[in-house]
Structures are given as structure tokens and as C-alpha cells.
């Protein structure tokens, strides 16, 4: 387009439709969120599901995170994929400390998030007891899709649009949002009845 081809409102409209303005911070966060290097580090059975996310079937490369790094110095995401024993916790923490900022951690599976079925003296009852965790992925094991979902949540967080989660969307506490009935959740009569019976059985 040559100077003078468009003027006035036409020129304003042309520019509005074609020029994008942003901030350096947003560009950096976009780049960070879409070029994450996870550490090649597995703890237990969940690690098998984590490994499969790089396979063609699940293809974490779609989100820019296929390059798992074998050194914490080159990684910025630690996926805690499995139970963390008391003996292993200091090692995990050291690996996390050796990663350079900015860095993130996903707790994958019931074991690393809460100890899972291993409620005993040998297993840490939740990795966030000894290191910061950004996203918890539930399941035993979580399917690769679940890990990818958690990964996209982390990306949102990095880009500054952290999702507060379903509890805030449904006005929920614990797992009882369907029976409590917030503004966005109206339980059916049957649901309320079933819930009351369940509480009777539990003596709650």
C-alpha cells in the first residue's frame, strides 16, 4: 500500500485490523509457556504414563515440551511422576534446587500429591511438603491426557491467566459442590437424597 491510498477512518480501520500491540512481559511469558523443557525424571509407575506423552499418540510436542532434558540445569519443569519416599525427598529437592529460574513443578498422580495408597512411614504424604508444586494432576495413574491437561493449566498459569479451578467455578468446597448448590450448580432432588443417605451411612 502506498502513502495516500487510505486516509482518515479507512486508514484507522486498516491499522486496527492488522497491527497487534503487546508488552514484552506477555511475549516472554508466551515464549516460556510454549518452550518448556521437562526434566527426564521418573519416580514410579506414573512415569510410564509420563513417558508416553512424548509418543506420537499423545505428542506433547504440540505444546512445545517434547525436549526432555537429562540435566536439571537445562530443565525448567519437574514432573513428580510417582510416590516420593522419605529417602528420595532430599534428592528430588536437590534436583529442583539445581534447576534454573523460572522453573515449575507438576505433581502427577495420587502418590506424589498426597501419598496415595501408601499411607505409611516410608512415603511423603504430598510433595508440596518439601517443595513448591504448581499443578496437581489427580489419578492413579493419571492418563497421559490428564497430564497434558495439567500441563496446559501450567501454561495458562505461566501466561498469567491462572485458572482458579472448578471449585471456584461451581462455588464448591471439597467434593460436595453438586449437593450444596451454588449459583452455578443446582442439584436434583435425587442427588440431594442420595447425598443425605451417603452421609447417614458414613455417620457424618
Residues of this chain that bind ligand SF4 (CB under 6 A): 44-46, 82-83, 109-111, 116, 140-141
- Supply the minimum distance, in Å, between the C-beta of residue 171 and ligand SF4: 29
Alpha-carbon 98 to chain mean position: 21
Q: Which stretches within 159-188 are classed as H helix?
A: 166-169, 177-180
Select 29 or 114, whichever has its Cβ closest to ligand SF4: 114
DSSP letter, residue 44: S
- For residue 127, give the nearest of 153, 148, 154, 105 by alpha carbon: 105
Select 83 or 136, whichever has its Cβ closest to ligand SF4: 83
C-alpha cell at 63: 505444546
Q: Are 123 and 83 in contact (CB under 8 A)?
A: yes
- Supply the minimum distance, in Å, between the C-beta of residue 111 and ligand SF4: 3
Using alpha carbons, list the distances in angstroms from residue 105 to 5, 9, 13, 53, 137.
53, 49, 44, 16, 11
Q: Taking the CB of residue 54, how many other CB atoms lie within 10 A of it?
A: 17
- Supply the minimum distance, in Å, between the C-beta of residue 153 and ligand SF4: 18
- Supply the minimum distance, in Å, between the C-beta of residue 38 and ligand SF4: 17
Select 33 or 106, whichever has its Cβ closest to ligand SF4: 106
Select 38 or 116, whichever has its Cβ closest to ligand SF4: 116
Inter-helix orientation angle 144-158/24-33, to 10°:
170
Select 138 or 165, whichever has its Cβ closest to ligand SF4: 138
- Supply the minimum distance, in Å, between the C-beta of residue 100 and ligand SF4: 27
Amino acid at each position: 500500500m502506498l502513502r495516500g491510498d487510505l486516509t482518515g477512518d479507512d486508514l484507522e480501520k486498516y491499522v486496527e485490523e492488522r497491527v497487534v500491540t503487546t508488552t514484552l512481559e506477555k511475549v516472554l511469558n508466551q515464549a516460556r509457556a510454549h518452550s518448556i523443557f521437562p526434566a527426564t525424571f521418573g519416580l514410579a509407575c506414573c512415569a510410564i504414563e509420563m513417558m508416553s506423552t512424548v509418543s506420537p499418540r499423545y505428542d506433547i510436542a504440540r505444546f512445545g515440551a517434547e525436549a526432555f532434558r537429562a540435566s536439571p540445569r537445562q530443565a525448567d519443569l519437574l514432573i513428580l511422576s510417582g510416590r516420593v519416599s522419605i529417602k528420595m525427598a532430599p534428592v528430588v529437592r536437590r534436583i529442583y534446587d539445581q534447576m534454573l529460574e523460572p522453573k515449575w513443578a507438576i505433581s502427577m498422580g495420587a502418590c506424589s500429591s498426597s501419598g496415595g495408597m501408601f499411607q505409611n512411614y516410608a512415603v511423603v504424604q504430598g510433595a508440596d511438603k518439601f517443595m513448591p508444586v504448581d499443578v496437581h494432576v489427580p489419578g492413579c495413574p493419571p492418563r497421559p491426557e490428564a497430564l497434558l491437561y495439567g500441563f496446559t493449566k501450567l501454561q495458562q498459569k505461566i501466561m498469567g491467566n491462572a485458572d482458579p479451578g472448578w471449585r471456584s467455578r461451581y462455588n464448591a468446597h471439597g467434593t460436595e459442590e453438586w449437593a450444596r448448590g451454588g449459583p452455578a450448580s443446582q442439584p436434583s432432588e435425587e442427588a440431594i437424597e442420595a447425598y443425605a443417605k451417603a452421609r447417614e451411612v458414613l455417620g457424618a
